[in-house]
Amino acid sequence: MQKMTNEEYNQYVARISPKSPMGKNCLLAFAVGGMICVFGQLVMNFYGKMLMLDETSASTATSVTLIFLSALFTGLGLYGKLAKYAGAGTLVPITGFANAVASPAIEFRSENFINGVGSKMFIIAGPVIVYGVVASVVYGFGYWILQMIW
């Protein structure tokens, strides 16, 4: 076996690695993410106009619907197939987050309910929740201080 320097190895990897069609991937992500958002807007319009919900209730119902559909499609294996095709377009916040929670839960269900599903469910989404909560506390505290000053 031939010894390579780091630079030679990097050149070798760059030479044999397939080239990524970045433009195509960006367009697919944009299109699919946009379609998910358009679908969410259509659902919200349905809840508001057809079911006569006020804006806050229609927004809440839309969020619940998108979370449910994302978890359902994850369980059926469809969300992963869409993610392979659309890439980052499936990371639209609410559907991507629901997928990040549902995927590990499904993957580790064979380990039992507590040690599998319960402990692994937030393995990906956990840091997002933790840092989101910490950031909201820091921002809220800063806002409270500013309100007291002015």
8 within some domain: no
6 within some domain: no
127 within some domain: no
Q: Report the domain count for the chain.
A: 1
71 within some domain: yes
Q: Describe the crossing of helices 55-75 and 93-107 by its angle, rounded to 10 degrees.
A: 40
72 within some domain: yes
**Structural domain of residue 33, as residue ranges?**
22-107
144 within some domain: no
Question: Which range (9-13, 30-34, 66-70, 118-122) has the least confidence?
Answer: 118-122
Percent of the chain with pLDDT over 90: 45
Which tokens in the block code for residue 25?
A: 């991937």
13 within some domain: no
**Whether pTM exceeds 0.75:** no
As a whole number of angstroms, the distance between CA 99 and CA 97 comes to 5
As a whole number of angstroms, the distance between CA 15 and CA 9 comes to 10
How many Cα neighbours within 13 Å face the side chain of 149? 6
38 within some domain: yes
